[in-house]
Amino acid sequence: MTRRRRVALKTAVWAGGLTPLALLVVRLATDPLVTNPIAVATNTLGDWTLRLLLLSLTMTPLRLLFGLSWPVTLRRLLGLFAFAYALCHFTVWLVVDHFFDWPEMAADVLKRPYITVGFTALLLLVPLAATSTAGMIRRLGGLNWRRLHRLVYVIAILGVVHYLWLAKVGVMGPYYHGAWLAAVLGVRLFDVVRRARVRQARRAGPAFAPSPASRP
């Protein structure tokens, strides 16, 4: 892919990533039918956090399934957008919903399981966002960086669980997101098993290869 196309693609991702936030602001400012703006803001920001996170995880399976390399270049940007939406989601809960009432917030985190897993997911996102730069990759080393960023799968699972426990009965959104995550994890697991078998076959190959004397 040429540099111009990469720039155009990332510009499109920036536009797509900012659009839900802009639409939310416009809706809250202009729609008189919004009776509970706090709930609308919280739910919208939370939904887009999970969607962007899952979208970032989908980039590698696209490469594995279809041999496309360009989606992988978007993983970091999509992940940072997911973190930004998660911070906005948390800020609404912190500032607007609780107005910095720290004891009440701590009580919510401890006694409400869906808040506990959501808050845990946010905390785990922080080191991933902090180490997303090329400089941090060099400092940590590629292997350590990859090990750290495998936490994103734990975060995605926590995000889906948070959504499932929060949603009302009959709402299908959490199940769609759960199926999306299951598909992503399934492709990655298949690739891990395939790589392990290839490595095992390579190690076993010389041991089972016929000796020169036994060859016809």
Residue 138 CB-density burial (10 A; 0-12 exposed, 13-18 middle, 19+ buried): exposed
Instruction: Quote the pTM value.
Output: 0.89
In a domain, 211, yes or no: no
pLDDT reported for residue 206: 59
DSSP 1: -
In a domain, 160, yes or no: yes
Question: Which of the four pLDDT bands, split at 50, 70 and 90, describes residue 216?
Answer: very low
Dist. CA 45–CA 22, nearest whole Å: 11
pLDDT reported for residue 205: 67
In a domain, 216, yes or no: no
pLDDT tens per residue across span 83-112? 999 999 999 998 988 788 888 888 888 889
- Of the two residues 212 and 181, the one the predictor is more confident about is 181
CA distances (Å), origin 107, targets 99, 116, 125, 144: 14, 10, 22, 35
In a domain, 36, yes or no: yes
Residues 6 or more apart in contact with residue 163 via CB below 8 angstroms? 46, 50, 173, 174, 177
Whether the per-residue pLDDT at 55 is higher than 90: the answer is: yes
* Percentage of the chain modeled with pLDDT above 90: 67
pLDDT reported for residue 100: 84
Radius of gyration of the chain (CA): 22
pLDDT reported for residue 108: 87
In a domain, 53, yes or no: yes
In a domain, 108, yes or no: yes
In a domain, 55, yes or no: yes
In a domain, 213, yes or no: no
Q: How many separate domains does the chain show?
A: 1
66-84 b/e (C-beta count within 10 Å ≥ 16 → b): eeeeebeebbbbbbbbbbb
pLDDT tens per residue across span 130-184? 999 889 999 999 899 999 999 999 999 999 999 999 888 778 999 999 999 999 9
Domain that includes residue 61, residue range: 3-201
